[in-house]
Amino acid sequence: MKTANILDFSIIAIYMVAMLSIGFVFMRFNRSASDYFRGGNRIPWLVAGLSCFMSGFSAWTFTGAAGMAYRYGIVVVFLYVGNALSFLLGYFVFARRWRRSRVTTTMGYLDERFNEGTRQTFSVVSVFFQMFMAASVLYGLGLLMASSCGVPLVGTIVVCGLIVLVYSTLGGLWAVVVTDFLQAVILMPFCLVLVGASLIRVGGLSGLYHSLPAGMVSLRLPSQYGWLYVFAWSLMVSVGYNTSAMAQRYFSVDDERSARKVALLCFGLFLVGAFIWFIPPMAMRVIHPDLATVMPSFSNAHEAAFAAASLTLLPNGLIGIMLAAMFSSAMASLSGTFNMHAGIISKDVYQTLFAKTSSDSALLKVGRITTVVVALIITVLAVVLAVKGKSIFQVMVTFNTIISLAYGPPALLGLLVKKTPPWSGLISFLAGLGIGSVGSLFLGWGLVMNVVVVVPVSITIFLSSRWFDRPEGAHVVRRERLFARLNTPVDVQRELAGCPDQTATVFRFLSRITAGVGALTLMLLFFVARADRLIVIAYATITILIAFSLKFIKGKQSIRAANDVVPKEVEIHDHA
């Protein structure tokens, strides 16, 4: 098995410089806090969709999930099909409603739908739990880089965290989604090439199927990850993927149609990817049946299966692209988390509690400062997880389960069910959080038990609170105003007047950068062995074709100027 060499390190360095440059380029798109946190509702749906996909498709896919594929086989495919189905729920229900809410952050929605106390509690608790999830992603990124490059794990985590921090702080959501898109362009062709190389090595799909242990390719799933676990997983990600960072992508685009396209694109990518991403780690089970003997320095060597596939099957140079791709997927998830948490802290905590009359420029400054603080805390947590040798998969599932099942039901039901008292969201959230935390952290509950207990309790509490709703008070006024917007289609020409459509500019920039990646890849032909040149050519060809296609994506016609950009009040419909 090879290790990264100077050629690979050079490619990684060029990639990191490119990512930091994007942060500087897109600073000029941020004229206000709205631009910084939701892109001024002007992010093209294709960019937002790939960004949404990459936020859920992080380094965890190549570490924790790849480790599951290496150990247990096709069960991880069904888990990712569950991920895909969660976006169908977004397509049919929640993408449209999140866009019509016309909010800047998901936490701001909670204040209007419920009350300020609910928003403050959700804000603090969700930031706390999601920091651990982000730390596991950064830990996974460090594991990939360290296992491939032979460098110290802790130092790798720190450097990676700082790089993500810099470009996220500079560029806001524009930098996040544009780099997400570019990272997808790098990642997808690479994965296709690696899948092809893996299948050739093991004798095709038939050879892989017959070479793996029977239990890894059987529909009789392992007991700890059986069909009930797959169902519980699908339910958990359905409430998790339609809130938080994913919801932010829904309301960053221009209208409801674009928001639904974001969800549909994510559905398609996750569905197709479920049958592609995990072929290389399963092939490693055939080539290296015991990865612990190949990578003895790692406590969970099976979680480095994807890196092992790249080091075994690809030439140096493409290994550098692999590491850049792995780095890119983690950056997508982490940068989205940094930006979302900065939005929550600056707008939903700082502005509400300390500076109600803050200007946009002040909030933009606070947003960047809080991005730095959040990123540093997450980096420290990732270092702690690495030092203690925790399993990336278990850390991710534990904390994601707790916060998703507590936060998701009241947040999503609040978009659908109108007549509940202002405390309904908070009580439902605290019940789910308390039960899930005690069960997961002290009673040893797994995912299935959490779903079976927490979800029915949370939903029952929320719906039962309707009996205590009172049709008066400030809460009712806010609630009626919100549901009026939820029932009002977005009028792009009126509401986004004065906000220029950046689609053509963005895709012209992405086309040039992507073409540069393809052209630079062709230079590897001078450094790789003759037998490996076909792999290089395949990757470069796919990348250049993508770059060429991006040139033809144009924006919508310019929106005429208008003075009134606030949606008119409409008749209130009963959504009880």
pTM over 0.85: no
Distance CA 534, CA 574 (A): 62
- Over residues 185-231, the pLDDT tens digits come to 777 888 888 999 999 999 999 999 999 999 999 999 988 899 999 99
| pLDDT (0 to 100) of residue 565 | 41
Question: Distance of alpha carbon 453 from its chain centroid, rounded?
Answer: 27
Least confident range from 54-58, 71-75, 376-380, 519-523: namely 54-58
- Average pLDDT for residues 244-266, to the nearest whole number? 85
- Over residues 40-56, the pLDDT tens digits come to 556 778 877 777 777 66
Residue 366 has pLDDT above 80, yes or no: no
Instruction: Answer left, alpha or beta for residue 561, where phi above 0 means left and psi between -120 and 50 means alpha.
Output: beta
**Domain formed by 6-494+508-524, architecture:** Up-down Bundle (1.20)
| pLDDT (0 to 100) of residue 555 | 60
Helix (H) and strand (E) counts in the chain: 27, 0
- Over residues 161-181, the pLDDT tens digits come to 887 777 556 555 555 666 667
Residue 485 has pLDDT above 70, yes or no: yes
Which residue, chain included where needed, has tokens 């932010």? Answer: 248
What is the residue-wise DSSP string for 145-181?
Answer: HHHHHT--HHHHHHHHHHHHHHHHHHHHHHHHHHHHH
Task: Indicate the domain borders of the chain.
Answer: 6-494+508-524
Of the candidates 405, 419, 385, the one whose C-alpha atom is nearest the C-alpha of residue 454 is: 405
Instruction: Enumerate residues 6+ apart whose C-beta is below 8 A from 488.
Output: 100, 567, 568, 570
Range list of H helices, 227-294: 227-241, 244-250, 256-274, 279-287, 291-294
Question: Distance of alpha carbon 55 from its chain centroid, rounded?
Answer: 2
- Over residues 472-482, the pLDDT tens digits come to 778 889 999 99
Distance CA 51, CA 246 (A): 9
Which residue, chain included where needed, has tokens 């690495």? Answer: 386
